[in-house]
A and B are shown apart, each in its own frame.
Chain A
Amino acid sequence: MVHRWLISIMSIGCIGVLSANAQQANPYEGDAAAIRAGGALYARRCAACHGADAKGTPGPDLTQLGTSGANSKRVFDVVQRGIEGSIMPPSLAADNEIWAIVAYLRSVGTVPPFANDRGDAARGRRIFASVCARCHRVQEQGGAMGPDLSRIAMVRSREALVQAIRDPSASVERGYRAVTLVTKNGERIQGVAKNEDAFSIQIMNADAELKGYSKVDLEQVIHESQSPMPAHGSSDLRRRELDDLLAYLGTLRATDDAER
Chain B
Amino acid sequence: MKVKKATALSALLVGMHVHADVTYEDLLRGLSDPSRWLTYSGDYTGQRHSPLGEITPANVHRLVPQWTFQTGTLARGRGFETTPLVLDGVLYVTGPNHYAWALDARTGRPFWEYRRDVPGDLTYGASAPVNRGFGILGDRLFLVTLDAYLIALDRRTGGVLWETELADYRVGYAATLAPLVVEDKVIVGISGGEYATRGFLDAYDPDTGKRVWRFYTIPGRGEPGSHTWPNADVMARGGGATWMTGSYDPELDLIYWGIGNPNPDYYGADRQGDNLFTNSLVAVEAKTGTLRWYYQFTPHDTHDWDSNHVPVLADLTIAGTPRQVVMVANRNGFFYVLDRTDGELLLGEPFTETTWAREIGSDGRPVVLNEDGSSGCLPDQWGGTNFNPPSFDPALQLFFVTARETCAAFLADAPEFVPGQQTTGGVVWIDRDHPAYGALRAIDATTGKRRWEFRYTTPTMAGVMSTASGLVFAGDHEGNFMAFDARTGENLWHYQTGAPIWGAAAMTHMLDGRQHVLIPSGGTLVAFALPDE
Contact = CB atoms under 8 A, between A and B. Distances in A.
The answer to whether A and B belong to the same complex is yes
Interface of A: 1-2, 5-6, 9, 40, 43-45, 47-49, 51-53, 55, 57-59, 85-87, 89, 196-200
Given A198-B455, A198-B491, 13 more contacts: A5-B411, A44-B427, A47-B427, A48-B422, A52-B411, A52-B427, A57-B430, A59-B77, A87-B76, A89-B126, A89-B127, A197-B478, A199-B480
A85 B76 CA distance: 8
Interface in B410-461: 411, 413, 415, 422, 424, 426-430, 432, 454-457
Given A2-B411, A86-B77, A87-B127, A48 B424 contact: yes
B167 interface: no
B485 interface: no
Nearest to A47: B427
A89 B126 CA distance: 8
B405 interface: no
A9 B455 CA distance: 38
Interface in B296-351: none
Contacts of A199: 480, 494, 496
B413 A1 contact: no
Contacts of B413: 9, 40, 43-44
Interface string B120-136: 00000011010000000
Given A5-B427, A198-B491, A49 B432 contact: no
B147 interface: no
B432 A53 contact: yes
B74 interface: yes
Nearest to B456: A198
Nearest to A8: B413
A197 B456 contact: yes
A87 B78 contact: yes
A250 to B, nearest CB: 28
B71 to A, nearest CB: 13
B480 A87 contact: no
Interface string B58-100: 0000000000000000111110000000000000000000000
A45 B427 CA distance: 10
6 contacts: A5-B429, A40-B413, A44-B424, A48-B427, A59-B77, A198-B456
B476 interface: yes
Nearest to B410: A52
B304 to A, nearest CB: 9
Nearest to B409: A2
Interface residues of B, number: 32
Nearest to B265: A48
Nearest to B129: A87
Given A89-B127, A199-B494, A43 B457 contact: no
Contacts of A44: 413, 415, 424, 427
B491 A86 contact: no
Interface string B458-488: 0000000000000000001011101000000
B211 to A, nearest CB: 31
A52 B478 CA distance: 24
A87 B428 contact: no
A197 B462 CA distance: 15
A108 B428 CA distance: 17
B455 A87 contact: no
B429 A52 contact: yes
Contact of B74 (A6, A51, A85): A85
Interface string B121-163: 0000011010000000000000000000000000000000000
A53 B77 contact: no
B432 A197 contact: no
B480 A55 contact: no
A68 B430 CA distance: 23
Contact of A87 (B75, B415, B456): B75
Given A86-B76, A87-B76, A52 B428 contact: yes
Closest 5 CB pairs of A and B: A197-B478, A87-B77, A52-B427, A47-B427, A86-B76
Contacts of A49: 77
A182 B496 CA distance: 23
Contacts of A47: 427-428
B480 A53 contact: no
Contacts of B432: 53, 55
Nearest to B74: A85
A198 B457 CA distance: 6
Nearest to B424: A48
A252 B432 CA distance: 28
B476 A198 contact: yes
Contacts of A198: 454-457, 476, 478, 480, 482, 491, 494
Contacts of B77: 49, 58-59, 86-87
A68 to B, nearest CB: 19
Nearest to B77: A87
Contacts of B478: 197-198
A5 B429 CA distance: 10
A120 B149 CA distance: 68
A256 B413 CA distance: 34
A40 B454 CA distance: 40
B427 A43 contact: yes
A155 B126 CA distance: 33
A197 B429 contact: no
Contacts of A45: 422
Contacts of A200: 496
Contacts of A197: 456-457, 476, 478-480
A58 B381 CA distance: 12
A85 B126 CA distance: 11
A51 B408 CA distance: 11
A223 to B, nearest CB: 11
Nearest to B500: A58
Nearest to B75: A87
B239 to A, nearest CB: 15
A57 B429 CA distance: 11
A53 B430 contact: yes
A109 to B, nearest CB: 15
B480 A2 contact: no
Contacts of B428: 47-48, 52
A47 B429 CA distance: 9
A94 to B, nearest CB: 14
A55 B429 CA distance: 10
Contact of B457 (A5, A9, A196): A196
Nearest to A195: B478
A1 B76 contact: no
B310 to A, nearest CB: 23
Contacts of B409: 2
A232 to B, nearest CB: 25
A5 B372 CA distance: 15
Contacts of B491: 198
Contacts of B424: 44, 48
